[in-house]
Each structure stands twice: as C-alpha cells, then as structure tokens.
Amino acid sequence: MKWFVRQSVLCVHVAGAALLPSFAASAGDFFFDDIPIVLTASRLEQSPLDAPAAVTVIDREMIAASGFTEIHDLLRLVPGFLVAQWAAGSPTIANHGLGDAYNGRIKVMIDGRTVNSPLRGNTNWRELPVRVDDVERIEVVRGPNGAAYGVNAFQGVVNIITRAPSTEDGATLISRLGQDGFYDHGFRVNGPSGGAVDWRLSGSRRAATTFRSFIRPDGAATPYEHLLVDTVNFSASTQLTPYDELRLQLGTSDGTYERGTPGILADLDNDVRTRADYVHLAWMHSFGAESNFALQYYRQTEHMQSGKLAVADLGGRQSRLAAVDGAVDTTRDDLEMQYSTRLGAAWQMMIGAGVRQESARSPDFFNTSRALYWRHAQVFGSLAWQPLEWLKIDAGGTLERHDYSGELFSPRLAVNIALSPQSSLRLSGGMAYHAPTLLQSDAEQAYREGGAIKALGLRATQTLQPERVRFAEIGYVALLKDLGLNLDVRVFHERYDRYFDERTCWNPIIAPDGSVVALRRGATPRTPPCNAPPPAGYVPYLQNGQQRASEFLNSGSFVMDGAEFSIDWQRPGWGRIVLSQAFIEIDAGKGVLDPDIVVSAPQAVSSLLLIKDLPDRWRASIGYYHNEQMMWLNQGDLVPSRDRVDIKLARSFGPARSDNEFAITAQSVGGRYPDFHEGRYRAEPQLFASLRVSW
C-alpha cells in the first residue's frame, strides 16, 4: 500500500509536468471557464478546478438513478465513504475508517446549517426533516476541512443542498410500495411562478423493516427494527430589492421505531419515539457582482423517548435490570455572518463570524434532570491570490473558542496550478480538530434503585483534549467537456493525535456507610480503575466485588495513508458511468488502546453507478458497492468483504420535460448481507415499485 501511495504521488507529479501549458490566456481564464460550481470547499462559489479541497458532487441525476430512498445511502457513491445501519440507533457513516455507532467526525449540513446532534456529535439520518426527493445535490468534501467550518469538520463535510422553490412550480405526488410492509408516500407543492414569494411545501410518510431477528449458531436471537417516520418541510424565498433576498426554511420529523431482541425482558417496552424540528432564516445582500454579505440564524431541536428499562452490566457476566428515564432533549441555536469580496484582479477575500449555543437534557446519561449547555464562537476567513494566470494560492483558517476545548486554530494552505483550461493540480495541507461532545465531557450514567445509585455506565472521568489531524494531499482534477469526462484523483497523508476512545474501567467496592472496602488478602484487583471515584450516593449491587463502568479518554496516535479517484463519463443519448475507488491503510503508533483501529478501514472501497438510456423513454441503472473486510468500532464488529448490487428500471411518460416516472427498484439483489456487526445484523434486500406524477 505504501508503494502504491508513493507511485500515485509520482504519477500526479509527472502528469502535472507533462500537461503544463504555455499559458497564453488572460488572467482567470483557466480557473473560471464554463465549468461546474461548488459551494462547500471554502464557503465560496468556485470551480472544482480551483477549490482548495477535493469535492464530490452527487447531482440530481445520480440521486434518481441510484434508487436510494434514504439520504445516508447516497454517500455510498463517494470515494472512501462507508455506510452502515444497525438496529439500535441511527445509521452511521465514516470516511476512510474510524467509524462507530455514533460517528461524529464528519460535519453534516443542510443548506449550510449544521445538523449533527449536540449529545453525541453524530447525525440522526432518518430524523432529518428533508427527504431524498427534496435534495438538489449533495456536496462532499473528502477530507479535513476545519479551515472553513471549524471543529468537527474533522474527516470531511457533507452539505445537503435542497431544491430552491424558484426552480419549480406545480405539484408532485410520489408513491413507493414494496415487500415486508415497505412504503414511502410523499408530495411536493410549489407556489405559482412569478409571484412575490417563491415557496414549496413537501411531506412524506414512510415505513420499513430494516432488520429482522434471526437465531445465531449459539442459539441467541438478534435485534430487529421497524420504522415509521413522518416528515414535513417548508421553504420560501423572496427578493426584497434587486440586491436583497430573504429565505425561510422550517420543518419537522416524527418517528416511531420498534426495536428489540425477542426474549429480552428489557426490550418489551423499548419502542423509541423521536421528533426533530428546525427553523432557518437567511438574509443575503449583494454589493456587486463579486461582493456579498449573508446573515443567517437557525434553531434545531431534537427529542427522543426510549423505553423505561435498561440492562446494567456489572461485569463478570453479571447484570441487573434497571429502571431509567430514557428521554433525551437537545437544542442548537446558531447565528452566523459572512462577507466576501474581490479586492482586485488577483485577490479575493472572505471573512465571517459565528456564535452557537447547544444544550442536552438526559437524566439517564447525566444523572441530573437539568439541561447542560455549551457555547462556541468562531471567526473564519480565507484569502485567495492569483499572482500568475496559471497559479492560485488559497490561505484560510478558523479561530474558535469552545467551552470543552478552549481556543483552537485550524489552518489550511492550498496551491492550485492550472495545467490547461480544463485541468489543474492541487497541493494542500493543514490541521483540523474534533472537539469532545457533551456526552464525552459530562456523562455520568447512573442506574438507581430506591434512591441509591446501584450501578454506573458511561462516565466522563477526565478532561479530554480535542482530537487533532494534520494532513497533506495532492489532487488532480480534469473536467474534459468535449469528452464528457470528469476525473478527480487524490492522494493523502493524515496523522491523528489524541484519538477519542472508550474503555471498560472498574469502580472500587463500596460499603453501605460509603467507605471503600479493601480487597481480601490475595485477591487481584480488576484494572484499569476508573479515573474518578464514584459519585455520592453510590451503593452498588455488588457488595463483595468491583463493578464495571465505561469511561472516555484520549488514546494514542496513528497515521492514515490513502489514494482515491472518481471517473464520471456521460454521453447524451447513451447514458453515464460514475466509478469511484479508494485505497486506505492505517498504521498504529504509540499508545493506541484499540488495536481494531488498524482494521477499521477496508483496504479498498469501490462503487459503480451505470446509467443507460434505452428506447421509448426507458432508462436502466445498476449500482455496485464493494467493501473489503473491515471493523466497525465500539458497538460494531468485524464485517467481511461484501458486495451489494442495486438495479432500477424506469420509464418516463407525459410531456417531454415532465418529471413523471414509473420504476421498479431492487436493492441488494444478492440477498441479505452482514452490516455493522457480522454476528448481529443482516441488512434486508428490498423490492419496490415507484410512481411519480407532476402537474
């Protein structure tokens, strides 16, 4: 693998030297030709050719052809991205490994607003108040991007960009029906074009069985999951003046999840109810063609109510059934402003600032009924200089103050060299951070009985330092319009420090009077001991032995090397082929507690989306997704090398430019496959028909 990375770097250098042109064009011609625009790499509209980071765009055609009905599944089309589902929580994604049940190392946004959960930092994908049918495109930054978005843009950024109300009118009905009770019914209604306010109202109700319980070879049953989710979303915009635009977005999502394991007493009352709401206000003012100001505020609330029983693991194969208050409530309030302008023919600047407050209330996780808060403030900016017509230099960074991490600065320097009007070479490097979450900073999961704390679960026993990644990459981008071919190649080296981990620790034996009981002579204490003494009122179930808990800590350092590429070829009247491939290797350094980190990244990740136009307005598409063997960390486990194939056959009808379509989609045509944990979860195949009618 190291040989492959070295050769990949050499190939990029050789390609750059061979293609370097004579540069007879005027300034800016190389970077601002008639080419696509991305928004997420640096918070500015720019071509992928001069973006300071690698960006994958999942456009509307790919979304429709994939047949996916859930937003997180679309990330299977991104080089190096890993997607898994499990039956006890929301689906999870990872970039090049390090994924677990609640992975929060990727910042996820909808139209520029952060939607990661304040409690754990993960994204509750199924509770997002937007649907696949609302999405115009998804932009994915395939690497650390703290310079643009601060902490938690640690391994990448996913920006889900919804359809603008001004681009549509009329109404649309969508219905999907499939096996095992699957259905997904939705609507979209747009205001009349040409009015003072452009608006859209959309909604959906969907149900699915994602996991069925099965009996393992040891005779134990595995968990199941059935979901029912309702979503409503409203979006509106108005042009107040020729220079001012006002936007409003609001939405809600309400879900019920039947989860559990047959025969497990704690799961008899373990259905989960969720609700998520948001409101987003934005004002944009234009001072000129390349000078703009934006001010936005958004508020997000999430509520989850789980069952009232839980199993307290005491260690030594001993456990107790405990009563808990499983309600979790979180909020986020965010105010942000941004100004960008061109300072001259060769200079472009962007600067902004934001403040955020987040809260979480969970009697189960925090051993208190009050809400906990943290605050965050940041200043960000970038300066782009084009001293030569073929050279562009971009320096950017975010300075922030975080309640749980102190002051942090995330810098990035990128150099883009135009090799031709349609291709460029990128060299960039920088640093990014991942801050501890509210749970990692304040957890004190206590199981009570009769007013006394009888057992402990998750504990924040020490102050965590933020995770840090230092990175360097070389990228090559070619947008060959005449050939219908887009090529994106990236080779990277990343060094991680202070990795967050979770480990089992042991509490001391406590006597009824609260004193610590010494172990009997000759007894061997269980290690490691928890880094903090138990809280007041701790009278454990076990009076004659140590009792288990779990604590968060900073682990060691390791290095990740990799190479990835995507090829996107399309020909009108024939179809399109999108191929992505990533190769990853992790080398553990000193102090890494979990040896599974090394195998958390598959050595190879592949995806292929083939779209073929057929006669009489038919279209066929095939999606192929492959992962080598890998390990999902913490609540996950080993997952063997696996392949998934999806097929969609669709026919459009009605007026030539209408959105009408009938389709049959088969997901995972090879049958069930192990997902997230080989011994516990089997992802279900799905066959469904869909009908979309617009007028």
| pLDDT value, residue 4 | 41
d(C-alpha 155, C-alpha 93), whole Å: 11
User: Residue 7's pLDDT band (boundaries 50, 70, 90)?
Assistant: very low
* Position 318 pLDDT exceeds 80: yes
Quick one: pLDDT at residue 227? 97
At a CB cut-off of 8 Å and minimum separation 6, what does 308 contact?
269, 323, 324, 325, 326
How do residues 577-636 score in pLDDT, each as one tens digit?
999 999 999 998 778 888 899 999 999 999 999 999 999 999 999 999 999 999 999 999
pLDDT band at 448 (very low <50, low <70, confident <90, very high): very high
Supply the pTM of this predicted model: 0.93
Residue 435, SS3 per DSSP: coil
Q: Which domain holds residue 346?
A: 2-315+328-366+384-694
pLDDT tens-digit readout, 337-376: 999 999 999 999 999 999 999 999 999 999 999 999 999 9
* pLDDT of the residue at 676: 97
Residue 320 included in any domain? no
Residue 323 lies in a domain: no
pLDDT at 589: 78
pLDDT in tens, 476-494: 999 999 999 999 999 999 9
- Residue 593: the pLDDT is 82
Q: Model confidence over 230-256: pLDDT tens digits?
A: 999 999 999 999 999 999 999 999 999
Distances (CA, A) of 472 to 7, 16, 141, 380, 414: 16, 17, 15, 21, 10
Which of 361-365, 463-467, 504-508, 590-594 bottoms out in mean pLDDT, i.e. has the lowest? Answer: 590-594
Cα–Cα distances (Å) from 44 to 268, 449, 461, 475, in that order, read 51, 55, 41, 19
Domain count, the chain: 1
Type of residue numbered 342? R
Please write the tens of the pLDDT for every residue from 395-425.
999 999 999 889 999 999 999 999 999 999 9
Please report the pLDDT score of residue 581 as a whole number.
98
Q: What does each C-alpha distance from 303 to 132, 256, 276, 442 come to in angstroms?
A: 22, 12, 6, 19
Q: What is the CATH number of the domain that holds 624?
A: 2.40.170.20
CA-nearest of 599, 603, 561, 598 to 581 is 603
What is the C-alpha to C-alpha distance for residues 463 and 480, in angstroms, rounded to an integer?
51
How many Å apart are CA 227 and CA 256, to the nearest integer? 6
Tokens of 513: 């009077």
pLDDT at 276: 97
| pLDDT of res. 520 | 66
| DSSP 8-state class, residue 512 | T
In a domain, 373, yes or no: no
Asked if residue 513 has pLDDT above 80, the reply is no
Beta bridge partners of 175: 185, 691
Question: Which residue(s) pair with 480 in the sheet?
Answer: 485
What is the average per-residue pLDDT within 457-476? 97
Supply the mean pLDDT for the chain: 91
Is 61 among the domain residues?
yes
Q: What is the mean pLDDT of residues 508-534?
A: 78
The confidence score (pLDDT) of residue 15 equals 37
Checking if the pLDDT of 1 tops 60, the result is no
- Report residue 376: phi and psi, to 5°: -150, 135
CB atoms within 10 A of CB 215: 10
**Spatial CA neighbour of 59 closest among 34, 38, 88, 85:** 38
Q: How far, in Å, CA of 24 to CA of 29, rounded?
A: 10
The number of angstroms, rounded, from the C-alpha of 14 to the middle of its chain's C-alpha atoms is 34
Is residue 637 scored above 50 in pLDDT?
Answer: yes
Domain membership of residue 371 (yes or no) is no
Task: Using the predicted structure, report yes or no on whether residue 457 has a pLDDT greater than 60.
Answer: yes
Give the neighbor-by-neighbor strand order of the sheet with 452-459. Answer: 444-449, 452-459, 547-554, 500-507
Distances (CA, A) of 248 to 83, 298, 432, 475: 31, 10, 31, 37
Residue 272 CB partners (closer than 8 Å, separation 6+): 255, 256, 257, 259, 304, 305, 306, 307
> What is the CB neighbour count within 10 angstroms for residue 250?
17
- Percent of the chain, pLDDT > 90? 81
Give pLDDT tens digits for 27-85.
Answer: 333 343 456 799 999 999 999 999 999 999 999 999 999 999 999 999 999 999 999 99
**Residue 527, Cβ neighbours under 10 Å: how many?**
9
Looking at 279-288, 444-453, 680-689, which range is the least confident one? 444-453
Strand partners, 245: 239, 284
Closest alpha carbon to 362 in 285, 460, 451: 460
Closest-CA residue to 665 (of 619, 615, 605, 616): 619
Q: Can you tell me the mean pLDDT for 161-168?
A: 92
- CA dist list (Å): 547 to 366, 443, 512, 529, 541: 19, 17, 15, 10, 8
Q: Which residues contact 299 (CB under 8 A, 6 or more apart)?
A: 278, 279, 331, 332, 333, 334
* Cβ atoms of 256 and 295 closer than 8 Å: no
Residues 370-396 pLDDT 10s: 999 999 999 999 999 999 999 999 999
CB neighbour burial string for 286-296, b if at least 16 within 10 angstroms, e if fewer? eeeeeebbbeb
Is 372 a domain residue? no
pLDDT at 591: 80
Please list, residue by residue across 167-193, b when 16 or more beta carbons sit within 10 angstroms of its beta carbon and e when fewer do: ebbeebebebebeeebebebebbbbee
Examine the pLDDT at 648 and tell me if it is beyond 50: yes
Q: Which of 521, 402, 532, 514 is nearest to 467 (CA)?
A: 402
Residue 597 maps to a domain: yes
Tell me how far apart the alpha carbons of residues 261 and 244 are, in angstroms, rounded to a whole number.
55
Under DSSP, the state recorded for 366 is H
Q: What is the pLDDT of residue 522?
A: 61
**Is the pLDDT confidence value at 17 over 80?**
no
Contact 1, 583 (CB under 8 A): yes
Sign of CA dihedral 624, 630, 636, 639: positive
What pLDDT score does 359 carry?
97
